[in-house]
Chain A
Amino acid sequence: MKTQRFNMATVVVCVLVLTVTSMPRYAFAANFADAARVIESRCLSCHDHDTREAGIDLSPLLRKENSSSGEYTSLWIKVERMVARGEMPPSEEEVLEVSEKEAVKQWFYESFVLRMGKSHIGPTPLRRLTRYELENTLEDVLSITLKTPYRDTISGRIAKSRIASLMPSDIPGESGFDNDAHRMESLKPSLKEISEAVHYALGIFSNSPTATQAVLDCEELPENSIKSEVRQLISAFLLRTCRCDRMRTQQLEDAYCGLYQKHVQVSQNCRKSLLHVFEMILVSPEFLYRLEESRNQDTPYPVTGVELAARLSYFLWSTAPDDELRQHGQDGSLLEDHVLQSQVARMLNSPRRLSLSENFAGQWLGFDDLLSNSEYFMDERWNRETYDEVLFFFDELIRSDRSILDMVQSDWIYRRASALNSHQQSYVRIDPESVKNAYADVLSGRQSKSDNKRLRYDPPVLVKTRDDQEGGVITSPAIMRLTASKSRTSPIRRGVWILNTVIGRTLEPPPDVPSLEEARETLKLKENPSVAEVIQQHVSRSECVSCHKAIDPLGLGLENFAPTGAWRMHYPDRTPIVAAGVMPNGKTFNTPREMKLLLLDIYKEDVASNFVKQMFAYALGRKTEPFDRVSLESIVSKVKEDGYRVNTVIEQIVLSQQFRFRQDH
């Protein structure tokens, strides 16, 4: 179905998305027998129960009952991907006919993308606050600071916040992000850690007149108080902390007032008992989980305004909704497209959007490791600077609504202040006044307070790239460091990183290749082949070649960047670096810049759809599933039409059915 486009920034697309998603893509019914015939005749000679090439046995797929969600879903996903991309059968075999390809794709679509012929969004998992979200949320609802000061002065180490040392970081799930609800669902929350963190936060809150003023409208918690005042305080506290509707808030207020009364009779101290009740509120499931009302339906239905407000603010800000968003949630206006869109626009204009760069990009690109994994620690200035260059780069993509593809190559970058100041290099600043204004809030918390030049830290600066050595994020010092070992670069590691992380190609080593030992053992026991045969079998496999053809040039093209990201022309042993290579499409390059441009030539669409997929997974707190395909494809095509702009991705994700609806089964 074709949709006409309107003004790009304000187009109302929700209705269109829904219309598209409810339409099966294929006009005629897919046929299991057709798909099974293709698998049987074209795949099984290498992948049946006995041959199992690459450890893959496709024979179970010949049973129709295995074409529904369950044990064989991931195998089906793999088969469909290989067939759709033309990666299988291997090049030495005859390619699949169009009709054969379609038979497999259609059956997959019918069985795994749709359910009973209809699109759906899968059961909605229950979200719980991650450590990062909890720290942000406590800061905002209590109006306090918990994070270590971003950078007062340069010291010898990167200090961890108290919360971060009380709670080890969350374990990321299959989505690659630590907000993965399926992972969190499978693990017990550690209430001991959480309650210690909450207790610590409340200690700071109750000793800060500014905080109590902001939250409770009183300079300090009263030692003695009358009942109605206490009710008012508890009510004010609940209003900020609980993401629920008015009726529910009222019920909670009653319950907590009752608990207060019980406690104060023993403690005889209003302040103590209030803090006791506040602690209960902050460790309650109501606060730690993002509970949503269930209609017990197996088809998608819209969430309430309050629930949508929470989804939105945790996606864009990793914290609780602010007053304005909460208001739009409470009165239901957020459910209207134009209100939702204007809220997205407002929120992306707020400095809190930096959470997207810190939490989403930090985990996706892995640069948060620069601050948390001591293996990467060089000195505080270097780590902060390299981290900030990527953080601000990513934020600039959002702030100025730039193209996703700028991540690969751009004519602008953020450059560390020390490089601008110390070497007097001829960088041209981009629009310094506008940057300064736009970042007034962000920077105020990040400006160094020290006058001592050695201890002083200034944030990076938006500049035009100077030469071919710069541009994009994939050649930033941060990424160059993270994809190298401290002492040497590894083209393979960098190539794999780009393919996996930026292009979104999942590379799995074929299961029977890496273990030389096993290969030898099996062969030796069975046929007693010569060692030469074993080794040859190991290295000459076509699977190795097909991936390394793609991996090697990407990494080789970056050899000019030392592990620190510094430009180099020679290896430490003085041999010259040749950063030349051949891309899988046969084109050659001689510099990193040429390599990156070829990368875009070949993989532009992959880079864009991978970006969408990653952010979609982060927004929903789960890995993408086959049934997300309809939404994902629709988002990707809009993003493409829109010149790959990042904020179109964000807006389209927010407008998608997955983001605004829930489903219970």
Chain B
Amino acid sequence: MRRNSYLIPRRTLLRGAGVSLALPLLDIMSPAISSAESTNNTPVRLCVLYKGCGVNPHSWDVVGGTETDFELSRILQPLSAVQDDILVLGNLDNQGSSDHMDAPGTFMSATKHSDLNRYSFDQRVADRIGNTTPIKSMQLTADNVWKQHPWLNILSYDSNNQPLRGQHDPQAVFDMMFKDLSRAGRQEELLSVLDGVKEVSSSLSRKVSARDKRVLEHYFDSIRDVENSIQQARQNSRAVDLDTKLSDIDPSLKVGNLGERIRAMLDLIVLAFWTDTTRVTSCMLANTNSRSHYDFMGVDAEFHYVSHHVRNKKVLPAYDKINIWHTGQLRYLIDSLKSIRDGDTTLFENSLILWGSGIKHGDYHSLTDLPLIVTGGGGGKVDLGRHVRYPKARPYASLLMTLMKIMGTDATGIGDSTEHLPGITEKANFESANPDDGSWKIVKSDDETLTAKGLLRISIEADLEYYQLRLSDSSDLEIRIPYMNNHKLRFDRCVGKVVTVTGRYKVEAGKKTIVALTEVELEQS
């Protein structure tokens, strides 16, 4: 863990004196916050982190082990020190759209853009619990903003299906959190300005068309939004002396590259939760068509380019490297939240974090078996340190239902689900999905080809063409096939399942190894 004390030393406070950007924002801010009276109520905060472009399933999937004793996959390695603090989920399928533009919104609502029901789950939570904090919910876009493809950049949608643009500039986020509406007297002044505008507008009628009148209603809705948010800011639980202290600090957030911006956004999320500025936030770390280069971490390629790896196998190491780096950022967030006291426990315990991508396979854009991690204690409600793979595919939307419930927002339904998901707040204890009935063996074999049935596995040390078929006698039949053979059969999708395979084999050192597959049949469960 990066820090193990709750209190950050005072020496890190660099008030006013040309704050260096090398220091994480949290270090700069912590003395001010730590010295303020912390509030007694310890609400649960929701954070959604979206990382587009999917994964290479081979590098993501956790195979074997039990619910509580399992080996992290290659992409999950950065989380090894906090394995007890995460819940890795498998076999949850989404509906909606896996289109580049549509995937982020689909992740948040389990609907597609054209469904006109994009009210995202974080906003459903914010509408319920966001009215006691200065900011109802905070949307962040850490990835570069692709203006010409607007939906790419947007995760959250409000109850009227209005897209909520993410703030992209960390400094502006900081100002929004601690400066804008907190300024002394500004709230009253703005309310009075808006009162005046309403008065003039209603007293002077104008010959506008019925159509224009409807458009202007949006304007007056927006006035009401500002009024409501000011009301909230007035009653907020954030201590007044904290506001005064924070408004004095200028962190001069000049962030250079994408990596620094992502870090700054994560710092801001922690800061927002810590100061109870908001309890709901969503952050776009990478969109699903991200043309952003990861050269800051030594990958000289666009994320989206390397995610379409099927016809271009040589990009796979770079693809994994970026995904591993992203998991590392989740680790950073977990560490930060764990290092901060919140009531009787830590901020981590009182947070609920959903981490994931809107698609599974970076090239196929599949919506099945999404890569998902739930972390944060959820106020003690989430049972962490587990890997739950649902024996039968479940709607991903059910996970959203459960997350909303943990956040105190019991919805009747979202997307294609009206049910909660078992195995989140309690142990799943699923029976093994693939019981060995003694039939896992080489079924037939001639001089060149064989057919065998067994449980397909991979190992994280193995290279990408290497699979093992576990047989009933506890031996493993090796499968080493060319990449395109794997891809054409979508073979990696069968990992963790019982399959019957037919293919050409070679004998090396007395052991049979399948070197080319011709047919793959999945056991129907």
Contact surface of A with B, Cβ cutoff 8 Å:
123, 125-126, 157, 160, 165-166, 168-169, 171-172, 176, 178, 185, 187-192, 195-196, 199, 248, 251-252, 255-256, 259, 263, 276-277, 279-280, 283-286, 288-289, 291-296, 363, 366, 368-369, 372-375, 485-487, 515-517, 520, 531, 534-535, 664-665
Contact = CB atoms under 8 A, between A and B. Distances in A.
A533 B506 CA distance: 27
A192 B226 contact: yes
Given A195-B193, A369-B147, A531-B488, A188 B203 contact: no
Given A280-B197, A487-B295, 9 more contacts: A123-B211, A195-B193, A199-B186, A255-B199, A293-B208, A375-B258, A485-B291, A531-B488, A531-B489
14 contacts: A168-B145, A171-B163, A187-B218, A188-B221, A188-B222, A192-B229, A252-B200, A283-B197, A284-B197, A284-B200, A291-B206, A363-B147, A487-B293, A517-B366
B482 interface: no
B20 interface: no
Given A172-B147, A291-B212, A373-B146, A280 B196 contact: yes
Contacts of A372: 145, 147
A101 to B, nearest CB: 32
B196 A515 contact: no
A252 to B, nearest CB: 7
Given A172-B148, A517-B364, A517-B365, A191 B194 contact: yes
A189 B212 contact: no
A276 B189 contact: yes
Interface string B134-160: 000000000011111010000000001
B211 A664 contact: yes
Contacts of B192: 263, 276
Interface stretch (B167-175, B265-273, B349-357): B167-175
B459 interface: no
Nearest to A160: B169
B190 interface: yes
Nearest to B145: A373
Contacts of A487: 293, 295, 300-301
Interface in B202-220: 203-204, 206-212, 215-216, 218-219
Given A157-B256, A294-B209, A375-B291, A283 B203 contact: no
Contacts of A515: 364-365
Nearest to A490: B305
Contact of B207 (A188, A192, A293): A293
B197 A168 contact: no
Contacts of A284: 197, 200-201
Contact of A373 (B147, B166, B212): B147
A251 B145 contact: no
B222 A296 contact: no
A517 B366 CA distance: 8
- Tell which of A169, A192, A252, A289 has the most Cβ of chain B within 10 Å: A192
B27 interface: no
Given A191-B219, A191-B222, A255-B200, A126 B212 contact: yes
Contacts of B225: 188, 191-192
B490 interface: yes
B242 to A, nearest CB: 22
A497 B29 CA distance: 46
Nearest to B151: A171
A233 B203 CA distance: 22
B180 interface: yes
A166 B172 contact: yes
B293 A485 contact: yes
A375 B200 contact: no
Contacts of B221: 188
Nearest to B169: A165
B302 A280 contact: no
B345 interface: no
Contact of A277 (B150, B163, B196): B196
B432 interface: no
B19 interface: no
B292 interface: yes
A251 B205 CA distance: 10
B196 A259 contact: yes
Interface residues of B, number: 70
A57 to B, nearest CB: 16
Contacts of B80: none
A280 B216 contact: no
Contacts of B211: 123, 125-126, 664-665
A279 B352 CA distance: 41
A257 to B, nearest CB: 11
B222 A189 contact: yes
B501 to A, nearest CB: 14
A492 to B, nearest CB: 12
Interface in B423-443: none
B83 to A, nearest CB: 32
A252 B219 contact: no
B204 A291 contact: no
A360 to B, nearest CB: 14
Contact of A296 (B172, B197, B209): B209
B381 interface: no
Contacts of B209: 294, 296, 664
A366 B148 contact: yes
B405 interface: no
Given A276-B189, A293-B206, A375-B291, A176 B148 contact: yes
Nearest to B224: A191
B215 A185 contact: yes
A280 B200 contact: yes
Contact of A189 (B147, B218, B302): B218
Contacts of A296: 209-210
Nearest to A276: B193
Contacts of B4: none
B143 to A, nearest CB: 9
B254 interface: yes
A368 B305 CA distance: 23
Contacts of A293: 206-208
A294 B212 contact: yes
A199 to B, nearest CB: 8
A289 B258 contact: no
B305 A188 contact: no
B491 to A, nearest CB: 11
A280 B172 CA distance: 24
A252 B203 CA distance: 10
A267 to B, nearest CB: 10
Contacts of B310: 516
Contacts of A486: 293, 295, 300, 302
A491 to B, nearest CB: 14
A21 to B, nearest CB: 22
B179 to A, nearest CB: 10
A280 B196 CA distance: 7
B144 A373 contact: yes
A89 to B, nearest CB: 29
Contacts of B292: 375
A185 to B, nearest CB: 5
Contacts of B206: 248, 291, 293
Nearest to B212: A126
Nearest to A524: B490
A563 to B, nearest CB: 11
A295 B211 CA distance: 12
Nearest to B144: A375
B475 interface: no
B162 interface: yes
